Amino acid sequence: MEYFVNEKGYYGDFGGAYIPEMLYPNVEELRQNYMSIINDEGFQEEFKKLLKDYVGRPSPLYLAKRLSSKYHANIFLKREDLNHTGAHKINNTIGQILLAERLGKKRIIAETGAGQHGVATATVCALRGLECVIYMGEIDIERQAPNVARMKMLGATVVPATSGSKTLKDATNEAMRDWVNNPVDTHYIIGSVVGPHPYPDMVALFQSIISEETKKQLIEQTGRDQPDYVLACVGGGSNAMGMFYHFINDAAVKLIAVEAAGKGVSSGYTAATTALGKEGVLHGSRSILMQTEDGQVVEPFSVSAGLDYPGIGPQHAHLFKTTRAQYVSITDEEALNAGLLCTQLEGIIPAIESAHAIAQLEKMEFKAGENVVVCLSGRGDKDMETYMKYFGL
Ligand X SMILES: *Cc1c(COP(=O)(O)O)cnc(C)c1O
Write down the least CB distance from residue 379 to ligand X, Å: 8
Type and span of the H or E element at 221: helix 209-222
Active site residue 377: yes
- The catalytically annotated residue of 208, 211, 329, 377 is 377
Of 74 and 309, nearer to ligand X (C-beta) is 309
Could you tell me the smallest distance in angstroms from the CB atom of residue 351 to ligand X?
4
The span from the CA of 71 to the CA of 307, in Å, is 25
Sign of CA dihedral 122, 124, 127, 132: negative
Residue of 68, 78, 80, 89 marked active site: 89
What is 77-105 written as a DSSP string? EEEGGGSTTSBTHHHHHHHHHHHHHHTT-
Instruction: Please state the φ and ψ torsions of residue 258, each to the nearest 5 degrees.
Output: -110, 115
User: What are the residues facing 188 on neighbouring strands?
Assistant: 109
Interacting residues of 61 by C-beta distance below 8 A, sequence separation 6+? 76, 77, 78, 79, 213, 214, 217, 218, 221, 373
CB of 22 to ligand X, least distance (A): 27
Nearer to ligand X (CB atom), residue 172 or residue 239: 239
> Toward ligand X, which CB reaches closer, 74 or 355?
355
* Burial class of residue 107, CB neighbours in 10 A (0-12, 13-18, 19+): middle
Cβ-count burial 35-48 (b if 16+ within 10 Å, e if not): eebbeeeebeeebe
- Among this protein's residues, is 89 annotated catalytic? yes
Q: Is the CB of 16 or the CB of 306 nearer to ligand X? A: 306
**Which one, 81 or 174, has the nearer CB to ligand X?**
81
The nearest distance, CB 382 to ligand X, in angstroms, is 8
Furthest CA-CA distance within the chain = 58
**Out of 80, 111, 334, 346, which one is annotated catalytic?**
111
CB of 111 to ligand X, least distance (A): 13
Active site residue 52: no
Is the bond preceding residue 350 a cis peptide, omega within 30 degrees? no
Residue 120 beta carbon to ligand X: minimum distance, rounded to whole angstroms: 8
Among residues 93 and 239, whose Cβ is nearest to ligand X?
Answer: 239
Which residue is closest to ligand X by CB? Answer: 378
Tell me, what DSSP letter sits at residue 51?
I
Report DSSP state, residue 59: P
Q: Which residues bind ligand X (CB under 6 A)?
A: 87, 89, 116, 192, 233-239, 306-307, 351, 353-354, 377-378
> Catalytic residues, which ones?
89, 111, 377
